[in-house]
Amino acid sequence: EPPDTPEDFSCQTQDMKRVTCTWRDGETYLYGQNLPQYTLSETSSQKTALCKASCSKQCSCSWDIGQQWIWNVTVTVENPLGKKTATDVFDVNHRMYPTAPFQVWEDCTDTEITLHWNYENNEIELFCQTEVLQPDGQVELHNSSVTDSKRVTVRGLQPYTEYTARVRCGAAKHFWRWSEWSQPLTTRTKEGTPSGKLDIWREITPVLGGRNVTLFWKQTPSFQANGKIISYEVTWEKIEDGSKPESISFSSVYNSTRIFIDNHSYRIIIMAKNNVNFSLPSVLIISRATDNSRNIFSTEELKEGQVNGTDDGVFISWEPRSIYDSYIIDWCNFPRLQPCDLQWKRFGPNTSSAVISSAAFVPGVRYKFCIYGSVANRASLLEKKTGYLKELPPSLDPAVGKVDLTYNSVTLSWDSYRTNESEPGFVRGYHVYVSPIQGKCNLKGSKKHILSGESELCKYTIQNPEEKSYTVKHLMPNTKYKIMVKAFTGGGESPTVNFRYIDTPSNSNMLYFVLLLVIVPTLIAAICHWKMKWVKECCCPVIPSPNKSKVLSFQEFKIDSEKVLKINDCLPDMLALDSNTEAQKL
């Protein structure tokens, strides 16, 4: 292809003695002796070529300017297929491109850095700019306020903080472009007095004659060490009698200590110290043992509430009280170890809930949280919570110790299920699983439960975790069943595998009923057959007929066809009369 017009063709000087022109060449797909040839010429000059061009990443060509300041330069590119040109007209005074500053050094205080530098051409007035890289990655630009100044002061910096700076310059008159940056200089400001306060907390343990107080401290985001912390100063004194304070100093590697105090009220002060000064004091008030008995000796009187884990941590809420100026929640990162790595977090007076998160939290571990209200540096225990980041299924099944069988029911009794801190979740209740060995389960009052192997079970749910027995009814007599009791938590239950097998007995009541229906009627029939005559006389007696009476069997008593008995023919043993009138007649 024929050559393209040279792109980005421009000329500049770094020392007012020599001019360099640069441009970008295009692709011609020609090689060897057919490569493009470049020529730089000055329109008003008789010279055919000002310089010989060289091309790598970009093309450039340089020559001495002598006493000429205005230039009209043309670059010509040519190959066997064509020719193209580009022109640049310029005043050398307006094309100053300084060299990068060098020999950069600094003077600093705790909040300021003054940068110094040199540059090669001191005859040219330059205007310089400083770039400062902050610790958080932000970049700040600072311009020198005085032309041709070889220094700049950067203010408002943090004490004992590392900064990286570099400098570049441009022509003060007829600015063309900035120079390249100088080599970066990394420096640290000097130490200053620590700003802010330490965040302090305590753990109180009653002992004979007083209390052991374990003190903890940490640096919060608002606390600035402004240097290297070399020690922590701990001071404590009685509030009532104004006795002489006691104090002790600890190396910076420590973040806790234990002191013994009696049952009086105490003021505790902790400060951090660097090579310059102490930080502001952090104050903690420990109340008298009698006044603080609820908070120290009787914490078990507060009922523990249960809290739930979320994706971000453990959610905790509490009832706010207007008298407190802040709230504190403390917990142990490793509750099963001693020391347990006590942690705490502070909240403002208008806060009534929080999500507590920690990299140490793991599923299946129970964590205890204590919520304190604080006013005038004096803390009081308000509530206690316990919960899990995530509950897991119980580690053990309830131990069924007693099984009572009838022909149509089974009563299962188990020991009290352990609910201590080692459990991986809160026991919410129990599931009772029942299934006949052969056939499907369709017991009344149960729900179907399908195992992974497509085995079908009857499932009963007990919502009360304090329950220790359950009766499964509506079983079939003389049948073999498999049965199991499992505890469940918020994380579910362990796999259903270890069944217990039972055999229901035959129905004895039904047998007795059958015996009654068969034997009793048979026995009665046998007795009746044996005493038939007696039974007949008792049950069906013969009704006497006058015509069959022996008394009337004589012939002389017959009148016509009837037999007649005349009363006067008989000699009665007794005579009963209906009335006295008849008696008189007789």
Concatenated DSSP letters of 292-311: THHHHT-GGGSPEEEEEE-S
Residue 126: partners with Cβ closer than 8 Å, 6 or more residues away: 98, 119, 147, 148, 169, 170, 171, 172
Q: DSSP assignment, residue 318?
A: -
* Domain-located, residue 542: no
Distance CA 508, CA 18 (A): 124
**What pLDDT score does 368 carry?**
95
Between 141-145, 192-196, 261-265, 572-576, the lowest mean confidence (pLDDT) is in 572-576
Is a pLDDT exceeding 90 seen at residue 228? yes
Residue 528 inside a domain? The answer is: no
**Predicted local confidence at residue 514, as pLDDT:** 59
341 and 285 together in one domain: no
DSSP string for residues in 251-288: ETT--EEEEEE-SS-EEEEEEEE-SS-B-PPEEEEE--
Residue 251 and residue 163 in one domain = no
Does residue 551 sit within a domain?
no
Alpha-helix residue ranges (DSSP H) falling in 312-462 = none
Residue 426 belongs to a domain: yes
End-of-domain residue from the set 94, 124, 147: 94
Least confident of 103-117, 496-510, 570-584: 570-584
Count of structural domains within the chain: 5
Question: Are 65 and 81 contained in the same domain?
Answer: yes
Decide if 190 contacts 108 (C-beta within 8 A): yes
CATH number at residue 383: 2.60.40.10
Query: Is 421 inside any structural domain?
Result: yes
CA atoms within 13 A on the CB side of 127: 13
User: In the structure, what pLDDT confidence band is assigned to residue 194 with cuts at 50, 70 and 90?
Assistant: very high
**Cα 324 to Cα 224, 355, 369, 403, 451, distances in angstroms:** 27, 20, 19, 56, 54
Q: Which of 91-95, 125-129, 378-382, 396-400 has the lowest mean pLDDT?
A: 396-400
**Which structure tokens are listed for 346?**
């502070």
Range of the domain at 177: 102-188
Give the pLDDT score at 84: 87
User: What stretch of H or E contains 515?
Assistant: helix 508-530
**pLDDT tens digits, residue range 230-251?**
999 999 999 987 788 999 999 9
Last residue of one domain, picked from the residues 470, 504, 538 = 504
Q: Determine the pLDDT at residue 342.
A: 95
Most confident of 260-269, 506-515, 575-584: 260-269
What confidence score (pLDDT) does residue 140 get? Answer: 92
DSSP-derived secondary structure for 80-112 = TTEEEEEEEEEEGGG-B-PPPPEEEEEEE-SS-
Q: Check pLDDT > 50 for residue 585.
A: yes
Residues 451 and 487 in one domain: yes
Confidence of residue 297 (pLDDT cuts 50, 70, 90): very low
Answer whether 176's CB lies under 8 Å from 165's CB.
Answer: no
Same domain, 213 and 274: yes
Query: Per the domain annotation, does 550 fall within a domain?
Result: no
User: Who has greater pLDDT, 387 or 541?
Assistant: 387
Question: What's the rounded mean pLDDT across residues 166-177?
Answer: 91
- The backbone region for 424, taken as left when phi is positive above 0, alpha when psi lies in -120 to 50, beta otherwise, is alpha
Answer whether 416's CB lies under 8 Å from 468's CB: yes
For 70-99, give one letter per residue: b (16+ CB within 10 A) or e: ebebbbbbebeeeebebebebebeebbbbe
State the pLDDT confidence band at 527, using cuts at 50, 70 and 90.
confident
Helix (H, G, I), strand (E, B) or coil at 562: strand
Please state the rounded mean pLDDT for residues 281-289: 93
- Residue 279 shares a structural domain with residue 308: no
Looking at the fold, whether 276 and 315 belong to one and the same domain comes out as: no
The C-alpha atoms of residue 127 and residue 171 are separated, in whole angstroms, by 6
Instruction: Give the confidence band of 285 by pLDDT, cuts at 50, 70, 90.
Output: very high
Q: Provide the pLDDT confidence category of residue 299 given band limits of 50, 70 and 90.
A: very low
**Whether pLDDT at 583 is above 80:** no
- CA–CA gap between residue 105 and residue 193 (Å, rounded): 26
3-state secondary structure of 483: strand
Residue ending a domain, choose from 94, 118, 139: 94
Nearest residue to 167 via CA among 118, 200, 211, 95: 118
Query: What pLDDT band is residue 563 in, cutting at 50, 70 and 90?
Result: low
Whether the per-residue pLDDT at 225 is higher than 70: the answer is yes
Domain identity same for 383 and 406: no
The reply to whether 351 and 413 lie within a common domain is no
Q: Is the pLDDT of residue 143 over 50?
A: yes
Tokens representing 357 are 């998160």
Whether pLDDT at 538 is above 80: no
Q: Is residue 52 part of a domain?
A: yes
> Which of 54-68, 79-93, 204-218, 539-553 has the largest mean confidence?
204-218
Which helix H or strand E contains 428, and what residues bound it? strand 427-436
Spatial CB neighbours of 456, under 8 Å, sequence gap ≥ 6:
435, 440, 441, 448, 449, 450
* Helix orientation angle between 508-530 and 532-539, rounded to the nearest 10 degrees: 90
So what's the pLDDT on residue 543?
67
Q: What is the pLDDT of residue 294?
A: 42
Judge if 355 and 444 occupy the same domain: no
For the segment 514-543, the average pLDDT, to the nearest whole number, is 73
List for the chain the helix, strand, coil content (%; round to 5): 10, 45, 45
Find the distance separating the first CA and the last CA of the chain, reported in whole Å.
179
* Residue 445 is assigned to a structural domain of this protein: yes
What are the residues whose beta carbons fall under 8 Å from the beta carbon of 389, sequence distance 6 or more?
309, 313, 314, 361, 362, 363, 365, 367
For 17-40, write each residue's pLDDT tens digit. 899 999 988 776 777 777 888 888
Residues 416 and 364 in one domain: no
90 and 118 assigned to the same domain:
no
Span 258-277, mean pLDDT? 94
